[in-house]
Amino acid sequence: MTAGLPSQRRGLTRALLGLALPVILANISQTLMGLVDTLMVGRLGVAPIAAVGVATLVFSAVASALKAFDMAVQTITARRVGEGRDHEVGGVLATGLFLAVSLGIVVTVVGLIWPDRAMALVSSSEDVRRLGVEYLMARVPGMVPFMAFFILRGCFDGIGWTRVGMIVGIGMNVLNAVLNWGLIFGHLGMPQLGVAGAALGSTLASAIAVLVMVAVALAPGTRQRFGMIAKGSIRRDLMGPLVRLAWPLGVQVLGALVAVLVFFTILGRISTEAVAAGNIVLRIAALSFMPAIGMGVAVQTTVSQALGRGDPDAAVRSGWTGVGLAVVFMGAFGLVFLFWPGWLMSLFTSDPVLVAAGTPILRMMGLVQIFDAVGLTLAGGLRGAGANRAVMIIDVCAAWGLLIPSAWFFGVHLGWGLNGAWIGILVWFFMYAVAITVWFVRGSWRRIEV
């Protein structure tokens, strides 16, 4: 019995790494798309950096909330595969696409009508608002393909085919980098659009990626096994379960991102340089989150499939094994942030003021890497079980109850500036990890039906 445990753990580790590494690489490439935007736009000046950072958050706050159906699609897909009901996967995908795209069309229309109002809510700088509107007018049309890509990827991740999302995602981001270079600066015979070029490049790259993902779904073997995009695939009986799983995640993402937008308004009260430096640091830090997010996706799939097989103990083992792997990866990032923050900042801006402002807060990010690894990984396990509402409550309460008050108190009230405001980020990440861990250990998620 005991001799079999190490072998069992090694097998689980290999399975998780096999699922997680493609997701990590895909997410890293996705994050690099944002970093490439920042790197290229950084050559245009401080105001463009701040504008792209804030406008991207506005777009992400809405798009990421709506694309919450991708996690719902992944969870139900994995559960059906675990139950041996592969032929129902196509219905899950088609119904998820229908719901997400329908909402996306409505939001796209609204976003194109009132981009100025969105920017006015998050920035008091006239230059930042003007440039942010330029960015949003070219980025909002990419809302629907952005969501469709992630719904399709969520389906493939639920099946266990995480390499599909990796390959298409990397291709999308390479294309984005080329388009950005051409459209921002007017290379390769393209118009020189500046900030708007960064947005248009992302929009075009997302649309092309969706076409590739659809082609994969329609491959004869895949279509036959999973019933992909067949007549009658949009199923009313799946709409309720998908909405029940998606809305907590949508509220969580929207609540957290709006909290970050409010956080940036607090930074705006400090200085435009604080906004620009904060944008660069969050872009860099987002890269470090990818191992835990990727491991969370892998754990979400293995937990859901294990529960579908009626094996909750395997689901628990999957969660803790994923935590161990995520801690190793993110701990390495933490060391880099602690010892070489100035060098990292200098890669994204040549402005010595921004490098000096961002160095201490990037070092602060190194202090919470391990905690974030635990929180993000176990949150994936809870989502795989269908406990999305618990994850939502924890994250939104931590963001609004801790991040915002702490950032204002230390950064503005006490006058500690950017460094003080960043204490709110550290408190948020730490308490989120603690609460998620407590919920996972309680174990009530084992009995949720999906």
Polymer length of the chain: 450
Nearest to 106 by CA among 140, 134, 132: 140
What's the chain's Rg over C-alpha atoms?
Answer: 21
Neighbours of 328 (CB within 10 A): 12
Given a contact cutoff of 8 angstroms between Cβ atoms, the answer to whether 125 and 50 are in contact is yes
- What's the rounded Cα separation, in Å, for the pair 96 and 149? 12
Query: Which structure tokens are listed for 168?
Result: 């298409």
Average confidence (pLDDT) over 115-124:
77
The larger pLDDT score, comparing residue 22 to residue 374, is at: 374
Read off the pLDDT of residues 34-83 as tens digits, 9 standing for 90 and up: 666 667 777 777 778 778 877 877 887 788 777 789 989 999 999 899 88
5: confidence class by pLDDT, cuts 50, 70, 90: very low
Report yes or no: 372 and 344 within 8 Å, Cβ to Cβ. no
| Burial per residue of 147-167, b for 16 or more beta-carbon CB atoms within 10 angstroms, e otherwise | bbbbbbbbbbbbbbbbbbbbb
pLDDT tens-place string over residues 241-298: 999 998 998 888 888 878 988 998 899 889 888 888 888 898 888 888 888 888 998 9
Looking at residue 33, its pLDDT comes to 64
For residues 153, 157, 160, 163, the Cα torsion angle rounded to the nearest 10 degrees is: 50
Query: Quick one: pLDDT at residue 2?
Result: 38
Q: Is the pLDDT of residue 84 over 80?
A: yes
Indicate whether 3 pLDDT > 50. Answer: no
Q: Which residues of 190-209 are buried (b: 16+ CB within 10 A; e: fewer)?
A: beebbbbbbbbbbbbbbbbb
For residues 185 and 44, the model is more confident at: 185
SS3 of 177-231:
HHHHHHHHHCCCCCCCCCHHHHHHHHHHHHHHHHHHHHHHHCCHHHHHHHCCCCC
- Mean pLDDT (whole number) for 413-426: 92
At residue 131, the pLDDT reads 86
DSSP 49-100: HHHHHHHHHHHHHHHHHHTTHHHHHHHHHHHHHHTT-GGGHHHHHHHHHHHH
User: How far is Cα 256 from Cα 90, in angstroms, rounded to an integer?
Assistant: 31
pLDDT at 416: 92
From 20-29, 164-173, 314-323, the region with the lowest mean pLDDT: 20-29
pLDDT at 53 (0 to 100) = 76
DSSP secondary structure code for residue 446 in this structure? G
Structure tokens at 197: 């070029």
Predicted pLDDT of residue 111: 86
pLDDT band at 359 (very low <50, low <70, confident <90, very high): very high
* Cβ contacts of 328 within 8 Å, gap of 6 or more: none
pLDDT surpassing 60 at residue 6 = no
What angle (nearest 5°) sits at the alpha carbon of residue 11, between those of residues 9 and 17?
Answer: 100
Ramachandran area for residue 415 (φ above 0: left; ψ -120 to 50: alpha; else beta): left
Per-residue confidence at 380, pLDDT binned at 50, 70, 90? Answer: very high
The tokens for 288 are 């470090």
Question: DSSP character for 44?
Answer: G
Query: Which pTM does this prediction carry?
Result: 0.76
For 234, the token pair is: 């949009």
Q: Give the integer Cα–Cα distance in Å for 381 and 3.
A: 27
Greater confidence, 290 or 6? 290
Cβ neighbors of 278 (< 8 A, separation 6 or more) are 53, 263, 264, 267, 358, 361, 418, 421, 422
pLDDT the model gives residue 322: 92
pLDDT tens readout for residues 149-166: 999 999 999 998 989 988
Residue 95 has pLDDT above 90, yes or no: yes
Q: How do the domains of the chain map onto residue ranges?
A: 4-447
The answer to whether residue 347 scores a pLDDT higher than 50 is: yes
Q: Is the pLDDT of residue 4 over 50?
A: no
How many percent of the chain have pLDDT more than 70?
Answer: 95
Return mean pLDDT, the chain.
87
Q: How far apart are CA 38 and CA 46, in angstroms?
A: 11
Stretch 24-32: mean pLDDT, rounded? 73
Kindly state the average pLDDT of the residues 178-190. 91
Q: 340 — phi, psi (to 5°)?
A: -130, 45
Tell me what pLDDT residue 66 has: 78
Identity of the residue numbered 267:
L
